[in-house]
Structure 1
Amino acid sequence: MGGRALTICTDLPAAELRRLARREKDRAAAARMQAIAGALEGLPRAEAARLAGMERQALRDAVVRYNAEGLPGLHHQPHPGRPARLDGAQKAVLKQVVLDGPNVEATGLSAWTLSELCQEVEQRWGVSYHPSHMGKLLHQLDLSWQKARPSLPKADAAAREAFAKGGCRPPSTTRGRSTPTSA
């Protein structure tokens, strides 16, 4: 325990920190503000941290960030994460590929499936995706994962329109039905 005490920046008084903490929407940042305010008021660091619902080390980390960055340092710091496997231009091309649909004569496909899109991306850019992740990628590109209704190039467009309007048969004429007579 022989570490030296860490001083806290006193730009804002403890009462002002508590007031800001009450209005803060980020609960973790509000707890950090409350803990720093308690330490500024003279509470032992362990007690100030306990009252704010955190460990003493978390309070120390918050004090270091508060001294370095001020109030914005008490908010969550996003981590960059793994870089995307496809860059922005490749994602734009992928979106256009999905919107254009597969070449029926070359691929034999009438509509893309997730696994076929994974194969297409691997052939074009050498990047492999799992089909479930390809669905997430399509969602990021504002595309639906659902397959479109297949449209065959040699299909009769007039017959398709007739079917969409109510079926393949011409409208039936009402015929007078004869009622069976009882004997």
Structure 2
Amino acid sequence: MPAAVKLRTDYSALDLRRLASGSKHANQSRRLLSLAAVLDGMDRELAARIGGMDRQTLRDWVQRFNQHGPDGLRDVRSKGHPPKLSQDQLLKLAELVETGPDRAVHGVVRWRRIDLQKIVLARFGIAYHERTIGKLLKQIGFSHISARPRHPGQDERVVEAFPKNAAATLKAHLAHLPKRQPVELWFQDEARIGQKNGLVRQWARRGTRPRQPADQRYESAYLFGAICPVRGVGAALVMPFADTHAMQAHLDEIAVTVAKGAHAMLLLDRAGWHTIGKLAVPKNISLVFLPSRAPELNPVENIWQHLRANWLSNRVFDTYDDIVQAACDAWNHLVAKPETITSIGRRNWAHIGHS
């Protein structure tokens, strides 16, 4: 047995017990109590038991205490292995992932972990396991998510500019109104609901894949919906077709839902039945058309996702009347919760100041 290491004497046993009682680290406290017992003259083997350790471990902590004082008795957590990729290499990897693969060069249309594993090895000379590539991607801010569909004919510059210029656009549509007339901002869209229904994600045990009914018939109806996020209200009709007649009926329905004495600025896409000159737009509504092929600017698209995820998907509708009833029930569920309409429908750029 090696000779006992002499304990530094600039702390008394009382000092160490006071530090132990005030420490927020349980392991540090018990080590301080063991060292206090040593200063009191207790046999070191017995003193070690006070701290739940053997004599050799106590010797090690005495050396740490002699070098670093009470702070040396705290647990030292390992920082792990230093990263193999430098910060500059991680930035280059992030840029590569964000740019995406070149199908002609890489032979794939999306990055997989195995593809990035090979590229990291080829470019940086570092071999990672495929799972580690996934951890690296999360570390630098990426997650594995579904892409949002984009129409190939969409002009991204126009879509990006619309929210920035929305205030001026809306103000131009307000020019004909009396200055003190209340103005409401509404959004409108249509969704096709039918027997060719969708399936949505659900909770299930790992390793299983739950099954849901999927009809192969094609009967359908159209849910015309409009919301006013600020008021948390909506107006909807279920129609057999998406055409001028259905749109006219929907405009009339919105007109009676707009607050008394207010004027509605109705933002909608450029579908043919929206832009046709045969529509008789009610006097309390002005139509404001969104950029072409830009569904992401219309929050009613998110309303459809909400209705399908909660009430319309994973179902089979036997008849057309069942489709109509399901659409009505789903919309009624929505309008019964104004806070949901407001939460889903609000957009930072979509506001009006009319004075």
Q: TM-score range by the shorter chain?
A: 0.7 to 0.9
* Mapped contact 1:101–1:112 kept (Cα < 8 A): yes
CA distance in 2, matches of 1:5, 1:147: 60
Between Structure 1 and Structure 2, which shows a larger proportion of helix residues? 1
Q: Which runs of 5+ in 2 are unaligned?
A: 156-189, 193-219, 224-238, 242-355
1:95 aligns with 94
Task: Show structure 1 runs of 5+ residues with no match.
Answer: 159-164, 176-183
DSSP-derived class of the 2:123 partner: helix
- The structure-2 alpha-carbon separation of the partners of 1:151 and 1:125, relative to structure 1 and needing over 3 Å to count, comes to farther
Segments ≥4 residues shifted beyond 6 Å:
none
1:94-150, Cα deviation, whole Å (9 max, x unpaired):
112122222234323232121111122122112121111111112221222x14428
| Distance of aligned partners of 1:150 and 1:110 in 2 relative to their CA distance in 1, 3 Å threshold | farther
2:4, 2:59 within 8 Å by CA — same for their partners in 1?
no
Pairing of 1:93-172 with structure 2 (within 5 A):
93-144=92-143, 146-149=144-147, 155-157=152-154, 166=191, 171=222
Whole-angstrom CA distance in 1 between matches of 2:152 and 2:108 = 15
Residues 8 and 63, structure 1, Cα contact 8 Å, conserved in 2: yes
CA distance in 2, matches of 1:100, 1:30: 53
Match of 1:75 in 2: 74
The 2-side partners of 1:138 and 1:68 are apart by: 41
- AA matched with 1:50: R
Comparing both structures, which one devotes a greater share of its residues to strand?
Answer: 2
Cα 1:94/1:24, change in 2 over 3 Å: same
Question: In the alignment, which residue of structure 2 is the partner of 1:8?
Answer: 7
Q: Please, what is the CA RMSD of the aligned residues?
A: 3.0
SS in 1 for 2:147: coil
- Residue 97 of structure 2 aligns with an amino acid whose one-letter code is V
Q: Tell me how far apart the structure 2 counterparts of residues 107 and 151 of structure 1 sit (CA, whole Å).
A: 22
Instruction: Output the amino acid matched with 2:66.
Output: N
The TM-score with structure 2 as length reference comes to 0.42
Is 1:174–2:172 an aligned residue pair? no
TM-score with structure 1 setting the length: 0.76
Local SS of the residue matching 2:93: helix
